[in-house]
Amino acid sequence: MKLAMAVPRDKEVTLGSMRVMRVLEVIDCCRAYASLVSSITLNPGAISFMVTKTHQVDSVVAHSASPKVSDARREDASASKERLEIGGHVPALDGVRGLAIVMVLVVHFIGDTQPGTFFEEALTQVTSYGAMGVDLFFVLSGFLITGILFDSRKKSAYFKNFYMRRVLRIFPLYYAVLLLALVGIPQIVHIEELNKAVEHQAWLWTYSANIFVALKGSFEALPVFSHFWSLAVEEQFYLVWPLVVFFCDGPRLKRVSLIVAAGALVLRFSMILAGVNDVAVYALTPGRLDGLAMGALLSIVVRDDPRTYRLARIANLTFVISATFIVLSFVLTRWVPGARPSLHEIRQTAFAGCFCSILLYSMSGPRFVRRFFQSRTMTFFGKYSYGLYVFHFLYCYFLLRYRTEYVVARLVGSHTLAIFIQAAVGIGVAVLISLISYNLFEKHFLKLKSKF
């Protein structure tokens, strides 16, 4: 039994035209060869003419036989000339920022919950790596801030413009939240955890939360606002890095970035050997400069030669090297348990390397990767990432402290389902608050950035 497949009329015409063209090409080839033979027979001295004509025939045959080869060569040539445009807004980087905040949301709403089954144990173990979203934020910040500074370092009002734009983006929401939570709410209701934060609020107003939790050796020392430690790290970085970029050309800035990244890793090793508490090793700015500096280095590398095929090669090489170190650190942790702290620090820097690769892939990687980072979902989360980060833990802290997923579990009959329901609702609330905050409050300050 034969299956008949209907072909649209226009496709039949196209196929017929292609066949006719092929027949004509073959006829031309035959005529050319016949002419050659006759010319040699009548005039043996026409051998030079034969060579020329043969090349013409070969080119016709090659063109008709393998058009895909020439197309591939043209595509390769155009790909080698394709350059990445990084001077303005790059949507893919919004997607990278979106990935970072999603990772943070996942670790707080799922990874930090109390597991009760083997599946939940595996789930929380995997999602706990969402904490690396902060490192992705650092790499991205180093990349973007260094690019902005480097491109404008010869312009007038270099420092003024940079700091005013940072102030307009960060300060309004940050200080509005502190004013509401530390001054307004305590006047209305007594919340023990919030009152404890009020006692140490000076550290928050001065962007020193990371120093305070490091001194106390515990993030619980600053309840509700402990996640502000990473905002403090970035602000402290902004105080110094503009001066570094101002006095460095491209090659020198790359060397400085490499030294700073390596120095951060060495510093963390030294702090571990000196018996410094884990929180200080993790949260103090000097020890977190590797991710920021690696992002800065990448920013200059991209500007040196923005050809996309070259950046893709750099991304591949960086990913392979970083992933190798990560795998080896896990293996060696099993074999040499005593080296776990040092291996953890190496793994942290290696993850920063992987995030550099992800950043490059988002702009110059395979099409499906670029589409993922430019998708509406990822760019949406990226656009509202600052508000999401600031708001989500202000109430997630209480969900985790009082293990409210068990209350939900009694209602739905499943603790696993309760974890997902609480996470979905919690993230949804964060999105809603961030949308309201951005559109009614933040964007009015953002409009002023154009003046600087």
Token output for 38: 């006759």
- Please tell me the predicted confidence (pLDDT) of residue 335: 87
pLDDT along the chain (452 residues), means of 10: 37 41 46 41 36 38 43 46 74 96 98 95 96 97 96 92 96 97 93 92 97 96 96 97 95 96 96 95 96 96 87 92 93 83 91 96 93 96 97 96 95 96 97 97 94 88
- Helix axis angle, 133-152 to 250-273, nearest 10°: 150
Of 372, 381, 306, 319, the C-alpha closest to 350 is 319
Among the listed residues 117, 84, 171, the one whose alpha carbon sits nearest the alpha carbon of residue 363: 84
Parse the chain into domains and list their residue ranges. 88-426
Handedness of CA 126, 291, 98, 223 (dihedral sign): positive
pLDDT in the model for residue 87: 67
**DSSP E strand boundaries for 267-406:** none
Q: What is the spatial distance between Cα 204 and Cα 327, in angstroms, rounded to a whole number?
A: 37
Q: Are 58 and 336 in contact (CB under 8 A)?
A: no
Task: Tell me which amino acid residue 141 is.
Answer: S
For 307, the 3-state DSSP assignment is strand
Contact assessment for residue 54 and residue 37, using Cβ atoms and an 8 Å cutoff: no
Contacts (Cβ under 8 Å, ≥6 apart) of 23: none
Kindly report the three-state secondary structure assignment for every residue of the chain.
Answer: CCCCCCCCHHHHHHHHHHHHHHHHHHHHHHHHHHHHHHHHHHCHHHHHHHHHHHHHHHHHHHHHHCHHHHHHHHHHHHHHHCECCCCCCCHHHHHHHHHHHHHHHHHHHHHCCCCCCHHHHHHHHHHHHHHHHHHHHHHHHHHHHHHHHHHHCCCCCHHHHHHHHHHHHHHHHHHHHHHHHHHHHHHCCCCHHHHHHHHCHHHHHCCCHHHHHHHHCCHHHCCCCHHHHHHHHHHHHHHHHHHHHHCCCHHHHHHHHHHHHHHHHHHHHHHHHCCCCHHHHHHCHHHHHHHHHHHHHHHHHHHHCCEHHHHHHHHHHHHHHHHHHHHHHHHHHHHCHHHHHHHHHHHHHHHHHHHHHHHHHHHHCCHHHHHHHCCHHHHHHHHCHHHHHHHHHHHHHHHHHCCCHHHHHHHHCCHHHHHHHHHHHHHHHHHHHHHHHHHHHHHHHHHHHHHC
Whether 140 and 93 have beta carbons less than 8 Å apart is answered as: yes
Check: CB of residue 187 under 8 Å from CB of residue 166. Answer: no
Are the C-beta atoms of residues 141 and 295 closer than 8 Å to each other? yes
User: What burial class does residue 364 get, using C-beta atoms within 10 Å of its C-beta: 0-12 exposed, 13-18 middle, 19+ buried?
Assistant: buried
301-330 burial code (b ≥16 CB/10 A, e <16): bbbeebbbebbbebbeebbeebeebbeebe
pLDDT of residue 383: 96
| CA dist list (Å): 40 to 60, 226, 253, 369 | 21, 91, 69, 59
Contacts 24+ apart (CB under 8 A), 438-444: 438/383, 438/384, 438/387, 441/172, 441/173, 441/176, 442/172, 442/173, 442/386, 442/387
